[in-house]
Structure 1
Amino acid sequence: MSEKKARQEERIIFNNLLEQYLYQGLPVDSIDAKTAFTIHNLKDIHLELPYTSIVYRTNFFSFVFVKDAIGKYTTDEQTFNTSPGTIYFTNPGHFKSFEWKEIRDVHLVTLSESFLKENVHPKIFEEFPFLLAETVPPRTLQPEVFAEFEQLYLQIEKEYFSSSTYRTRMIGNLFVVLLLKIKEYFWEDYNPIYEGNRSSQIVKQFKRTLEQHYRDLVNGKADKVFRVQDYAAAQHLHPNYLSNVIKSKTGKPIGTWISEKTITEARTLLQHSPASIKQIAGQLGFTEATHFSNYFKKQTGISPVLYRKQHTS
């Protein structure tokens, strides 16, 4: 892939399926723009086959139920074949593309993280931690097992196209059952702490970026402390997704990692640097020394002045 093409693809990030289909020139009649949840049969979308997509990123989850079709998809650098009876899902943030040679019955479900938390489960990643596994190989099931999933997603589809007052609530409850079925058949023993794929890479890259950024701050190569959005942008991830991966894999919120690193660097500078507290505050991205002092005391229980006095001869 050329550098120019890579840069172009890197900018193609879709926040919802409507954006994606409009960009790709695909039919959008079955897409409800008012909800962060969609479900439809891909045979109604890909009217001309074979079809090969562009490479892109999304900020939403996709679940694909292949009852009868032939194709393949790529997530990051891994390519998987899809055949009748295949079920797979992809998560926000990574590069992906797909190809369909034949489609007779394939249901696609997409939903945002906010929809998952608001309508499926408020602690979605604690109940279903496998959702943080960025690259999960597809599973091809026996027809009788696939039929259990089909019954659920067809009921979800029925509610999606209904005008019921309880439409969203019923979709959320049915999707809980669907996720429980996935958990039962696929990932009952999944533990993200020991999972060594993309999620682990995300954590490692975050830690490297965190260390490098604070070196840059101390050396005057950066003048503001990165926010969660900045760390997410460094890996082309949605901030919420990065936060969830970091919390699941390390047990600590990303904000705790940042504050602990700030305090560690502050302590080192207070002990070993001749710089004034005002200068140290500036090095660590604080616009006012008083803000730094209040922050340091809140985190450590002691003021920077007293800490320096206690730890220097």
Structure 2
Amino acid sequence: MPVDDEINFTILSVPDIHPEIPFKSPVLRAEYFSFILTKEGSGEYNLGDNTFPFGNRSIYFTNPGHIKSYELFSSKEAQIIMLTEKFLQENVHPQIYNEFPFLLAEIVPPNEQTETEFKELEMLFDQVGFEFKNNSKYKDKIIGNMILVLLMKIKEWFWANYNPLVEGEHNSRIVKSFKRTLESEFKKILGDKQGQVNLQAQYFAERLNLHPNYLNSVLKNKTGRTLSDWISQRTLSVSKSLLVDSSLSLKEISYLLGYSEPTHFSRFFKKNTKLSPRAFRAAHKSP
């Protein structure tokens, strides 16, 4: 169920939206964050090749871009908060991922809380639900402050048990998959020179079923280069090859590389080489 269109936020009772138990969801890709608090219930969350069982007094969250499914074996009392990145940035913290980097993590199992900890989270969810039903003109900010407290609690309790080795292995696979995807995109033009590459960050993130910010974070942490750096450097390498080893016009090369106008390509090329494409071709082309 999508979040509210107006404020990019909603909170729901899980038994209300899934009255028939057991329930097995289809595989889905959500474009919002989910925080699921289960007071009494059990089931499994499936994320890629990982299956995470959960039970009473547990909390679990997923971020945008996840390919996931879930199965409910029982669900007597549980709540789910769904909110967008936009809501978090506008009402919780403008640099949300700097303050709470765990929101970008891909593999985080459900966390079972002590009775005392769970009561604190339950009170927070209940208060968020109460404010969500109010018509206060400050509703978004009030809820945003409560979500801030929720994130602080998760950071304190949940994140302490995070296993970085699991994420490290997962991130290494992401880097390899990205490199393969990047190369496969350029093969479109390095072969028969008939295709046109898509060099948008969103495109690569969607191909890998990841959130763009998460993909960028993984690449930067693992390789020292951002997503934009990887795309730009490979584009520059391929453009040099096309200028030197082909007779394609600048307009044709610009098109193949996904530029709408040759002037855009020329600006990119000169910024990175200090030479215009024509000058570079003239300097390196064999007589």
TM-score (norm 1): 0.78
Find 2:215's aligned residue among 246, 251, 259. 246
Q: Contact between 2:23 and 2:72, CA under 8 Å: does it hold in 1?
A: yes
Q: Contact between 1:224 and 1:286, CA under 8 Å: does it hold in 2?
A: no
Deviation sequence 1:238-272 (CA, Å, 0-9, x none) = xxx22x013212334433322222112223444x5
Alpha-carbon distance between aligned partners in 1 of 2:70 and 2:199, rounded to the nearest angstrom: 34
Find 1:266's aligned residue among 212, 222, 239. 239
Q: Contact between 1:66 and 1:105, CA under 8 Å: does it hold in 2?
A: yes
**Which AA in structure 1 matches 2:178?**
F
Deviation sequence 1:134-175 (CA, Å, 0-9, x none) = 121111111112122222222211111111111100111110
Deviation sequence 1:84-112 (CA, Å, 0-9, x none) = 11111122223322222322221111111
Alpha-carbon distance between aligned partners in 2 of 1:291 and 1:35, rounded to the nearest angstrom: 37
Alpha-carbon distance between aligned partners in 1 of 2:260 and 2:12, rounded to the nearest angstrom: 51
User: Which residue in 1 is equivalent to 2:186?
Assistant: 214
Alpha-carbon distance between aligned partners in 2 of 1:206 and 1:63, rounded to the nearest angstrom: 28
Residue 294 (structure 1) shift: 2.7
| Residue 77 (structure 2) pairs with residue 105 (structure 1) | yes
| Residue 12 (structure 2) pairs with residue 40 (structure 1) | yes
User: Which residue in 2 is equivalent to 1:298?
Assistant: 271
Identity percentage of aligned residues? 41
Q: Which moved more, 1:191-200 or 1:287-296?
A: 191-200
1:32–1:48 CA distance, 2 compared to 1 (3 A)? same
Q: Contact between 1:218 and 1:283, CA under 8 Å: does it hold in 2?
A: no
- Pairing of 1:232-243 with structure 2 (within 5 A): 232-237=205-210, 241-242=211-212
| Residue 117 (structure 2) pairs with residue 148 (structure 1) | no
Does the residue aligned with 1:84 lie in a helix, a strand or coil?
A: coil
Q: Contact between 1:75 and 1:95, CA under 8 Å: does it hold in 2?
A: yes
- Pairing of 1:1-313 with structure 2 (within 5 A): 17-18=1-2, 32-188=4-160, 195-196=167-168, 198-219=170-191, 220-237=193-210, 241-242=211-212, 244-251=213-220, 252-270=225-243, 272-275=244-247, 278=250, 280-286=253-259, 289-310=262-283
Instruction: In structure 2, list runs of 5 or more residues that go unmatched.
Output: none
Does the residue aligned with 1:171 lie in a helix, a strand or coil?
A: helix
> How many equivalent pairs are there?
280
**Which AA in structure 2 matches 1:246?**
L
1:283–1:148 CA distance, 2 compared to 1 (3 A)? same
Alpha-carbon distance between aligned partners in 2 of 1:49 and 1:194, rounded to the nearest angstrom: 32
Alpha-carbon distance between aligned partners in 2 of 1:130 and 1:165, rounded to the nearest angstrom: 30
Instruction: In structure 1, list runs of 5 or more residues that go unmatched.
Output: 1-16, 19-30
Q: Which moved more, 1:284-293 or 1:105-114?
A: 284-293
Residue 288 (structure 1) shift: 5.3
Structure 1 vs Structure 2 CA RMSD? 2.8
Q: Contact between 1:69 and 1:84, CA under 8 Å: does it hold in 2?
A: yes
1:46–1:224 CA distance, 2 compared to 1 (3 A)? closer
Q: Contact between 1:130 and 1:191, CA under 8 Å: does it hold in 2?
A: no
Residue 207 (structure 1) shift: 2.1
**Which AA in structure 2 matches 1:52?**
K
